[in-house]
Structure 1
Amino acid sequence: MINPAQQATLALLSCETLETLGQAFCECIQQWAPEAYLLNGVIPVSGQELTCYINGRDSAALKLRFDDFSHPFSQVMRTGKASIWSTLNYGVRIEHQAFRQLVQSMGKECGLFVQPLFDAEQHLYGLFAIFDSTAMLNALQQTEHPFIYLLQVYQAQIKHLKKEADMMAKNHVRNRDNDVLALSRNDATAVLPRVLVGNSSYICQLRKKIQVAITHDIPVAIEGESGSGKSEIAQLIHTYSQTPGSLVTVDCNSLDLQQQGGHLFGHTNVAESALMQANKGTLLLENIDKLASCWYGKLQHALDCGEIMPCQNLEQGSSRFRLLVTSCQPLSTIASSIPTFLPVYQRINHYPLKLQPLRYWREDLVVLSQHLLRKLCLQHQKPSFVISDELQLQLHSYHFPGNVSELKRLLELLLLESSRAGNSEGHVENNAALMELLALNFSIGSVTEPDYTQSGSLKEVVSVFEKAVINHRLLRQCFNKERVAMSLAISRRSLDMKCKKLGLAR
């Protein structure tokens, strides 16, 4: 005879969507804790807040921002570790008004257990919370209690269903993308005007050069400022060049010296190397100007002979691949200043593509903006809208140091702000909030140099400058604290504490 724990496990394994999984899990828990108050917290696509559902149902009980530290869930979201509070009623400081009202509405003394939930890539998906008496929470935490096993099944199912949902979402976006809809893989002539939009002489000439790169199996070096679209151009070349293998990407800027060698050539097992994985395909080396000079010889040998020598030279492998590289620095300058790079430069620079900054082809700015907006509306499933003449003038007056990537980020922010403001007409010309947002972004310049003559202690002066630097990075990265922390080479927790100390919490 099947016991309740086995029935609960079968119920979870039979769920086909994340929504029904959350509801089924809550129903299973209620058979052991009938008076418990259960919350399922889910992080939406925007990733800016945590939406909590009562007992896994459709009604949202709470919406909690990631940068809000006034509620107990913030500790779990920051640390990624389960936490338990024996009581929320005596001496526990809850500054979040909605969270405090939720606890008070339960009408009884209760504790709290919170379990973070992760997807298959170990990204935070959400959390599960139980509000109940201390005795019940302690009973559920006993190793022999079925709750512990069922929680593991629930987490495994989340990873499985989230992975399937992500794959379906990607396929849905891909099918709806007008850039590739009903276009054959080798019809690059028809694809390029739809993907690389614009009528300027620069864009027209760039499309012709990309067409040449697609039709000839030669190494291509793509140079340009950060955000100019180097990686996108490389992916476009691979996609329509009829290469049978896959595209393997290695970003030299994100790896240290040993990691570069391990990723490219393999530490001991050559089969794990990126060069071997790119066999019969394409290897994209992003930011090759950041590749350590000690790996030039191995890369040159692989390009000449197709032989891959792992870092410890235990065994060799062979691979034939097409090489695409990107660089923010002129490769010719690097070759002239670093003699050991010259042989590599001669092998990768068969067909150079130099991308101009966006400020040099402003005549295509409106067309490009509308193109990006259409894609963003499809991606976020938002109604389309057009940019007003006034906003177009502001766009033309901005120098875009982040190039196309910054334009896309700004347009995405405009789209999300427009939706949040309840703009149902699909236009933004009369939206004062968006105008203020644009003015804020356009006012972001370099960090203001501190006044070294001002009075105060060294700690106070440094604190003022530190606040200016962090505020500048937050604005540049659209308050994406993960990117800001990475750019400052500090942990996310340290950044959160500094923001709170300096009064920069959004």
Structure 2
Amino acid sequence: MSEDRCALVVDDERDIRELLVLTLTRMGLRVETAATLGMAKSQLANAKFDFCLTDMRLPDGSGLELLSHIADKYPEMPVAMLTAFGNVEAAVEALKLGAFDFVAKPVDLKVLRNLVQHALDLRTERKLAPKAPEPEKRMHGDSPAMAQLRQTIGKVARSQAPVYILGESGAGKELAARSIHDHSPRADGPFVPVNCGAIPPELMESEFFGHKKGSFTGAHADKQGLFQAANGGSLFLDEVAELPLSMQVKLLRAIQEKSVRPVGGQAEEGVDIRLISATHKDLSALVDEGKFRHDLYYRINVIELRVPPLRERVEDIGTLTTMILAKLSERHQMPNTKISNEALDALHAYPFPGNVRELENILERAMTLSDGQAIYPEDLNLPKVAPPAVSVPTETAAPDSPQERAFDAPIAPQSVGTPTGALPEALEQLEKQAIESALLENRYNKTKTAAQLGITFRALRYKLKKLGLD
């Protein structure tokens, strides 16, 4: 590490300061120290620092005051907090105010060195051209909602704080998570996405934390868990609301201790990850119902990021349509397909309960069914009435447009569609509509769809084939 980098250590305990100075000096840093808030402000005014490590409690103030001072006067400087062991609330408050990360006392020197290295990497990357694509290369759209989202992603990426992404199915939560990772100091590390709803409960501990050979029947070799696979990078837990309560306890401990114990293992293994989680459900409501642990909720929801549904950014549909058609033409090695103005108007009028993912599916189907090199309204085959989307908590405001008001209104019984023909055909139509709606709501996860419909997985497979939905 370059000798011209300097760190400021702020702590009123002499032994702690000496330990931190020794550790950081061995990393090649010049280190200055301060025992009080006033001394720290004076040091900052008289010298240039690349990193600050401060205790939460100081004789003449708090580390949070120093954090706010640095954020105001020296916004490019990463700040990490020293907190008392188990004081999660103080650590979370520091992260919300802009701290880069925190270290619990007694200090784990390996964790500290990793933290400092990430902080200095962040400082360097802010000065250099970004290696990853800009957020707009992933998060497409020119609407105010998307501009705000990209701006927030840019800020969130600079921190180490856990991020909680909420948004409807198909809105782009994983794209947002990847953008955060790509613009963080961890961009060179792994990005490990996992759908929590797709892992059987009995295998969750092994999947998350790994296992040792012989720890259970079928464990023929050591296996690395998702936490270990994401070491040095970001772990994205999609549909985190699907975690059973027993697993939530173990996840909370792994996050707080920054270490995991493989199934059948005797010792814990340190892990250095940034946690990003997401769900389409109202997690706060699940906390109130006792279905999600409140302590885990507050630990993962340090920074909240909402991905807007497509119906809230209708002006992006044209841009997205052009981009998706170009991608599909390249994938299928077909001439570029255009879309007629009438078809585009039809897309603008449709509420898209499945969001961008549904738009992609509609366009791919239309592209396949169209006769020429242009898509017309009849090629889109849009549903007469969209299935209801899962609600996501938003700012309390009245719907702005008639389209939004219509979408938010309760669906009348006849809106499902009136079956026609003889009774067997009518029942088949209703069955097909129910299965299609459940598939869409569960993101085409057949196991969850079967459970929701109250039938076996094998029965669902049979019905999908019978109804031409396979």
Q: Do the structures match in fold with TM over 0.5?
A: yes
Contact 2:241–2:292 (Cα < 8 Å) also in 1:
no
Aligned equivalents of 1:278, 1:375: Cα separation in 2:
30
Aligned equivalents of 1:386, 1:262: Cα separation in 2:
48
Residue 217 of structure 1: SS of its match in structure 2?
coil
Contact 2:351–2:386 (Cα < 8 Å) also in 1:
no
Q: Deviations over 1:190-220 (max 9, x none)?
A: 6223332222211110010111122222211
Contact 1:268–1:314 (Cα < 8 Å) also in 2:
no
Contact 1:271–1:317 (Cα < 8 Å) also in 2:
no
Aligned residue identity for 1:296 = Q
CA 1:344 to 1:465, structure 2 compared with 1: closer, same or farther past 3 Å? same
Contact 1:215–1:241 (Cα < 8 Å) also in 2:
yes
Residue 254 of structure 2: SS of its match in structure 1?
helix
Aligned-pair distance for 1:466?
Answer: 4.9
Q: What is aligned with 1:225?
A: 168
In the alignment, structure 1 segments of 5+ residues that lack a partner are 1-183, 429-433
Q: What is aligned with 1:443?
A: 384
Is 1:465 matched with 2:407? no
Which one of 214, 221, 224 corresponds to residue 157 of structure 2? 214
Q: What is aligned with 1:260?
A: 204
Q: Deviations over 1:104-162 (max 9, x none)?
A: xxxxxxxxxxxxxxxxxxxxxxxxxxxxxxxxxxxxxxxxxxxxxxxxxxxxxxxxxxx
Aligned-pair distance for 1:237?
Answer: 1.9
Aligned-pair distance for 1:450?
Answer: 9.7
Contact 1:223–1:328 (Cα < 8 Å) also in 2:
yes
Residue 215 of structure 1: SS of its match in structure 2?
coil
Contact 1:286–1:325 (Cα < 8 Å) also in 2:
yes
CA 1:373 to 1:215, structure 2 compared with 1: closer, same or farther past 3 Å? farther
CA 1:203 to 1:222, structure 2 compared with 1: closer, same or farther past 3 Å? same
Which one of 261, 269, 283 corresponds to residue 317 of structure 1? 269
Aligned-pair distance for 1:268?
Answer: 4.2
Aligned residue identity for 1:357 = P
Aligned equivalents of 2:150, 2:242: Cα separation in 1:
28
Aligned equivalents of 1:450, 1:391: Cα separation in 2:
23
Is 1:354 matched with 2:306? yes
Aligned residue identity for 1:465 = L
Aligned-pair distance for 1:326?
Answer: 0.8
Aligned residue identity for 1:487 = T
Aligned-pair distance for 1:298?
Answer: 1.6
Aligned equivalents of 2:309, 2:326: Cα separation in 1:
22
Which one of 275, 288, 301 corresponds to residue 253 of structure 2? 301
Q: What is aligned with 1:417?
A: 369
Q: What is aligned with 2:395?
A: none
Residue 406 of structure 1: SS of its match in structure 2?
helix
CA 1:204 to 1:499, structure 2 compared with 1: closer, same or farther past 3 Å? closer
Residue 212 of structure 1: SS of its match in structure 2?
helix
CA 1:441 to 1:475, structure 2 compared with 1: closer, same or farther past 3 Å? farther
CA 1:201 to 1:435, structure 2 compared with 1: closer, same or farther past 3 Å? closer
Aligned equivalents of 1:475, 1:383: Cα separation in 2:
33
In the alignment, structure 2 segments of 5+ residues that lack a partner are 1-127, 214-221, 388-412
Q: What is aligned with 2:357?
A: 405
Aligned residue identity for 1:368 = L
Q: Deviations over 1:393-412 (max 9, x none)?
A: 10011110101110111112
Aligned residue identity for 2:361 = R
Aligned equivalents of 1:501, 1:321: Cα separation in 2:
46
Q: What is aligned with 1:237?
A: 180
Aligned equivalents of 2:247, 2:257: Cα separation in 1:
16
Q: What is aligned with 1:344?
A: 296
Instruction: Give the structure-2-normalised TM-score.
Output: 0.56
Aligned equivalents of 2:450, 2:166: Cα separation in 1:
25
Is 1:278 matched with 2:230? yes
Aligned-pair distance for 1:441?
Answer: 2.4
Q: Deviations over 1:444-490 (max 9, x none)?
A: 544967999x9x9xxx67x8435422255459979xxx866873367
Q: Deviations over 1:408-456 (max 9, x none)?
A: 11112222333xx3x2xx433xxxxx53232x3232544967999x9x9
Aligned-pair distance for 1:501?
Answer: 5.8
Q: CA RMSD in A?
A: 3.6
Q: Deviations over 1:219-262 (max 9, x none)?
A: 11110011111112112222332423212222111122212222
Greater relative contact order (Cα < 8 A, sep 6+) = 2
Is 1:488 matched with 2:450? yes
Aligned-pair distance for 1:380?
Answer: 2.3
Which one of 358, 362, 377 corresponds to residue 329 of structure 2? 377
Aligned equivalents of 1:365, 1:324: Cα separation in 2:
27
Aligned equivalents of 1:416, 1:339: Cα separation in 2:
43
- The share of aligned pairs that are identical, in percent, is 28
CA 1:259 to 1:413, structure 2 compared with 1: closer, same or farther past 3 Å? same
Q: What is aligned with 1:3?
A: none
Aligned equivalents of 1:211, 1:402: Cα separation in 2:
26
Aligned equivalents of 2:259, 2:177: Cα separation in 1:
24
